Structure 1
Amino acid sequence: SQNESSITLQWNKINNNISFVLQYDGTETNISSPAGDGPVIHTVTSLTAGTKYTFTLFSVLDNVRSSGVSIAAVTKPQNAEGFRSSIQDESSITLQWNKINNSTSFVLQFNGSETFISSPDGDGPVTHTVSSLTAGTRYTFTLFSVFESIRSSGVQLTAVT
C-alpha cells in the first residue's frame, strides 16, 4: 500500500534464520525475520509525494546476501490545491485548480462519470469546463491527482449552475 509519504512492502518469510536488507535511494535498512508465520511487512516512511522509487530486497544468511529482487513503487500524489469554480452559467461550470507538475494528470468525477485531464504545458492553473448541465442544479465534483496510475485521496467541490 502507499500514501503521500510512505510505501508498505510485503514479502514471504523464508525462515527464522534469514534476515533482509532493503536498499532504496542510496540507503540500506536491515530487517530481522519476524517471529511466527506469515509475511514480512515493512513500511518505508518520509518519502516524497508523487515519486517513483525502486526498492531492492536481499535475503541475508551469515552476512552473505542473495542476488536481490527489485520492484518499483510510487507514493500517492498530493491533492490539487486551489480547486474552485471560476465561471458558471445555466448549462456549464468552469473549474480551476493549481497545476502540480508535468508528470501529474487529473481525474474529475461527477454524476457517476470520470473525465481524464492531462497536465497542460506551461505554468498557471488548470482549467476545465463541464458542459451540458441542468440550470439551477447543485453538482458535487471530486478531483483526483494521478501519478503512475495511482490516485490521490481526492478533493471535493460543490458548485451550482
Structure 2
Amino acid sequence: MLIIVRRAGIAFLTLLIVITLTFFLLRRMPGDPLYMWAMELVQTHGMDFESAYEQVKQMYDYDPDEPMGQQYIRYIKGLMKGNLGTSMVYKISTNEIIITALPWTVFLLSISLLISFGLGSLMGIVIAWKRKTALEPIVTAYAAFT
C-alpha cells in the first residue's frame, strides 16, 4: 500500500513540475503572440488595433499585464476544471479538438493493442515450442526491445 501511495505522489509531483515548466516556458518566450492575432484581426476585419488586442486577450483569457503568480493560479484552476484553453492555431476550444480526435485515437489504439497482443502471444508460443534452438535468442531479443 505504501508503494502505491509513494508512486502516486511521485506521479503527481512529476505532473505538477511538467505543468509548471510548460506554463513558465510559454510565458517567457520572446515576442507577443497576442499581437500577431490582433494584427490578423485588424487586417481581416478592419478593426482598430486596441479593440482587436482587447478582443484577443478576452478570447484567450490571457492578460500579459497581470502578475505571473495570478496567471499561474488561474491556469491551474482552469486545468482542474478541465479547461485546456483555446487553440491558437484553430481558434476553437482545445477540448473540442480532443473530442473530435478521440474516436480515431481509440480506434488506432485498439487495433495496435490487438496486433501487439496477437504477435506477443504468437512469439511466446514459438519460443516455448522451440526451446534451446537458434530461434530462442532472436525472439527473446526482439521481444525485449519491442
Q: TM-score, normalised by structure 1?
A: 0.23
Q: TM-score, normalised by structure 2?
A: 0.25
RCO (CA 8 Å, sep 6+): is it higher in 1 or 2? 1
